Amino acid sequence: MAQKGAQILEMARKQVDLVARYLDVDQGILERIKSTKRELTVHFPVKMDDGSVRVFTGYRIQHDDSRGPFKGGIRYHPDVDLDEMRALAMWMTWKSAVVNIPFGGAKGGVKCNPKEMSLGELERLTRRFTWEISIVIGPDVDIPAPDVYTNPQVMAWIMDTYSVFQGHTVPGVVTGKPLELGGSVGRHEATGKGVVITTLKACEYLNLPIEGARVAIQGCGNVGSIAAQYFERVGARVIAISDSKGGLYNPNGLDLRAVMNCKRRYDRLLEDEVPGAEPVTNEELLELECDILVPAAIEGVITKENAPRVKAKVLVEGANGPTTPEADEILADKGVFVVPDILANAGGVVVSYFEWVQNLQELLWSEEEVATRLENILKRSFDEVVAIYEEKKVTMRMAAYILGVGRVLKAHMLRGIYP
């Protein structure tokens, strides 16, 4: 995994070098934004249920706060790795900038296997980790959120622990909280919904009818499953969907209600439970005959090996970093229209921002208010990226980077260097 993390970081840094060609940039500032601003590594003890004490390693990596407080998720996973955290923190900075919300980028995590831990152990781990990183987080400084294998309950423990030490309740220290503790309506579905909003914009731009369009989705978690349901609502046909163990395929469109029931009941996708469905592997899914392909699971799945066989007309990146730079070039040559991750999956951070704003102002917005604001921001951001795509004749990813990295560089230049 450490090697994979190093590769992902190299990819993230290479993307910055590529975009620098289009921007009037000071080499020193470029070096600064290719590195992280602040990195905290902590080793901390946790009392386990059997009476033993285990020491865990965790990180909070802060990439950039030139445009506003650091913002980014906390991940609990056995593969949590420093270099991968650095890359993910960097991507958060560009994502906040592309959609023009006043946040920077950060990421954090603890190397652990939450699937093998009891609820009590997870709570003790979370509370101690929060205490360890409390010197660098805060509602005006750095605001964590859920990521892989962390959820609203974990956010509630973080909020509570931080608040205990402050002596008063501080809901704005994390987003993705339960609704009862100041979470925002619409946060749970924001990323999947944002994937569909940006896909609709892409289809409109390409004159591709969404009615009946064939969609293949890799991943059936928060992003994949919610995107699938919104795709159905707008008239598209979800012909394939998968989880880590494999997927289901029906060229005429899957019965999504049966798919979701099966996933809920058995925690896997079984062809016998979904009428007309046949099994498909994760590798096959990416190469299916379809109009829209949505990788919504993990990084680095579209590579130079399979990119030549991708048949979709539009690739919408629900996951972070699903396409390698080599694959990007191949897709561009083939004329595949890519909606890049920092735009396609930005719905989550946008509604996280809404949650933070509501917490600071002690307001509760309605579902309609959240939905309208989200749609406006994503549609405007899509139009801004397309304008650069047309003007500079670059790929959509490069256009999004020109917009996002450009905004961050501008902030650095305006602020200047102290002293």
List active site positions.
107
User: Applying CB under 6 A, which part among 63-71, 127-135, 208-216, 294-302 lies near ligand NAD?
Assistant: 294-302
220: contact with ligand NAD by CB under 6 A: yes
Using CB under 6 A as the binding rule, whether residue 93 contacts ligand NAD is answered as no
Q: How far, in Å, CA of 131 to CA of 172, rounded? A: 16
The pair phi, psi for residue 317, each rounded to 5°, is -85, 90
Residue 287 binds to ligand NAD (criterion: CB under 6 A):
no
Q: How many CA atoms lie within 13 A of 339 on its CB side?
A: 35
Site size toward ligand NAD (CB under 6 A) is: 21
| Per-residue contact flags (x/-) with ligand NAD for residues 313 to 352, judged by CB under 6 A | -----xxx------------------------x--x----
Nearer to ligand NAD, 122 or 394 (CB): 122
Q: What's phi and psi for 234, nearest 5 deg?
A: -90, 10
Q: Which of 184, 218, 323, 395 binds ligand NAD (CB under 6 A)?
A: 218
Based on the shown chain and the rule CB under 6 A, indicate whether residue 25 belongs to the binding site for ligand NAD.
no
Nearer to ligand NAD, 69 or 176 (CB): 176
Question: How many Cβ atoms from other residues are within 10 Å of residue 401's Cβ?
Answer: 26
Stretch of 23-31, 45-53, 163-171, 291-299 lying at the interface with ligand NAD (CB under 6 A)? 291-299
- Could you say whether residue 223 binds ligand NAD (CB under 6 A)? yes
Q: How far is the CB of 193 from ligand NAD (least distance, A)?
A: 10
Rounded distance between C-alpha atoms, residue 174 and residue 70, angstroms: 11
Find the residue with minimal CB distance to ligand NAD: 221
The answer to whether the beta carbons of residues 44 and 132 sit under 8 Å apart is: yes
**Contacting residue, 48, 148, 181, 234, with ligand NAD by CB under 6 A:** 148
Report in angstroms the alpha-carbon separations of 333 from 242, 393, 395. 27, 13, 10
In whole angstroms, how close is the CB of 335 to ligand NAD at the nearest point? 25
**Cα angle vertex 73, ends 70, 76, to 5°?**
140
Q: How far is CA 76 from the centre of its chain?
A: 15
Among 123-131, 222-230, 370-378, 396-404, the segment contacting ligand NAD (CB under 6 A) = 222-230
Report 177-196 residues binding ligand NAD (CB under 6 A).
191
Shortest CB 339 distance to ligand NAD, Å: 13
Does residue 222 belong to the site contacting ligand NAD (CB under 6 A)? yes
CB 60 to ligand NAD: min, Å: 17
Write out the residues near ligand NAD by the rule CB under 6 A: 148, 191, 218-224, 242-244, 282, 296-298, 318-320, 345, 348
